[in-house]
Amino acid sequence: MTVSTTNNYVVTNRGSVIENRHQVHAVVTDATGRILYGVGNPKRITLARSAAKPAQVLAILQTGAVEQFGFDEEDLALMCASHSSEDHHIARARGMLAKALLDEGDLRCGGHPAISEAVNRTWIKHDFIPTGICNNCSGKHAGMLAGAKAIGAPTADYHQADHPFQRQVKDVVEELAGLEQDGAQWAIDGCNLPAPAFALHHLARIYARIAHAADCAASVSASTQTQALGRIFHAMAQYPALVGGTGRFCTELMETFAGALIGKVGADGCYAVGLRASDQTRRLGADGAIGIAVKIEDGNLDILYAAVVEILGQFQIAAPDQLQRLAAFHRPQIRNTAGVVTGQTSHQFQMLSV
């Protein structure tokens, strides 16, 4: 299914010169997986990367590790995070390991420069070399270590694709995406854990299901899975600063919408949003919650964030004041080293009914 491949670009200009055209693929589904809107190729096979984290955290919850080791909602938020390695992120990751009677040596993710430039400057000033606990995915790793321990599996190789816990993660993610067993492709992510790849609309479905669960979790008839998914939604929405960090798009987006949605970036230009049922979702033809998944063909993250805000604006999901709050992400200005504005970003795509 291809909706449009001729008018699905975000364009950057310097003066009157078009410098870059960034191709956009995006899709909107309801919680059943029904495709409502799209642009580009909604079936583009896409590595979800860190956008898969909320689905992977469902597998952690299903092991009973959260209750067994006393993890709280802030810990859940950090499990879903690609954090900025700020002090409170690292402290919480260390606290999670301590709750599960684990230590930093058990982590199988390496250190890397922080996503936050401010944090990096501090590290350089103090000649600090980041280790695995500083990895932006350390919350997920701590949670997965605890999940492995909760099912009685070895922790030394918890990151391997054939580990019993990772096999559980695989089954959970594929079911949540609406796929048959072995329906996803898998590759090793930047943090050394398996990451799923599937058609883009399956990622939207995952987030629609999480948002739908947030609306239904309080019902006495809600399933255990629905309650767990609702808990993941509320943890992310309640603690957005743990999911990203100071000035980060995920954090700013969730703070702007104040519990109405969750959003999560995946490396190399992938993003997913889960929006709870509202007048806006009903106007779009959904009976309840919706999911939005976006992939920028060249992996540019600034363009990705711009496209996400544009989509929310096109659907009138974002009110004018919310668009204003996200304006720096929506139409980022291009500045040179002297601070002079030399270019602009424009959106030359339209989400179409499918």
User: Residue 266: what are its φ and ψ, rounded to 5°?
Assistant: -125, 140
User: Residue 111: what are its φ and ψ, rounded to 5°?
Assistant: -80, 160
Q: CB under 8 Å, gap of 24 or more: what pairs does 14-21 form?
A: 14/334, 14/342, 14/343, 15/342, 15/343, 19/343, 21/348
Q: Evaluate the CA torsion angle 50, 163, 182, 66 in order and state its sign.
A: negative
Question: Is the whole-model pTM more than 0.85?
Answer: yes
CA–CA distance, 331 with 309 (Å, rounded to integer): 9
SS3 call for 312 = helix
Q: So what's the pLDDT on residue 1?
A: 65
pLDDT tens for the chain, 354 residues: list them. Answer: 666 556 899 999 998 999 999 999 999 999 999 999 999 999 999 999 999 999 999 999 999 999 999 999 999 999 999 999 999 999 999 999 999 999 999 999 999 999 999 999 999 999 999 999 999 999 999 999 999 999 999 999 999 999 999 999 999 999 999 999 999 999 999 999 999 999 999 999 999 999 999 999 778 789 999 999 999 999 999 999 999 999 999 999 999 999 999 999 999 999 999 999 999 999 999 999 999 999 999 999 999 999 999 999 999 999 999 999 999 999 999 999 999 999 999 999 999 999
Q: So what's the pLDDT on residue 132?
A: 98
Contact 289, 30 (CB under 8 A): yes
CA–CA distance, 212 with 206 (Å, rounded to integer): 10
Sheet holding 45-47, edge to edge: 45-47, 194-199, 185-188
Contact 315, 280 (CB under 8 A): yes
Q: Which domains does the chain have, with CATH numbers?
A: 28-353 (3.40.710)
Three-state helix/strand/coil letters over 243-289:
HCCCCCHHHHHHHHHCCCEEEEEECCCEEEEEECCCHHHHHCCCCCC
CA–CA distance, 190 with 93 (Å, rounded to integer): 18
How many CA atoms are closer than 13 Å to the CA of 159, on its beta-carbon side? 18
CA–CA distance, 218 with 98 (Å, rounded to integer): 31
Q: Which two tokens stand for residue 161?
A: 């694709």
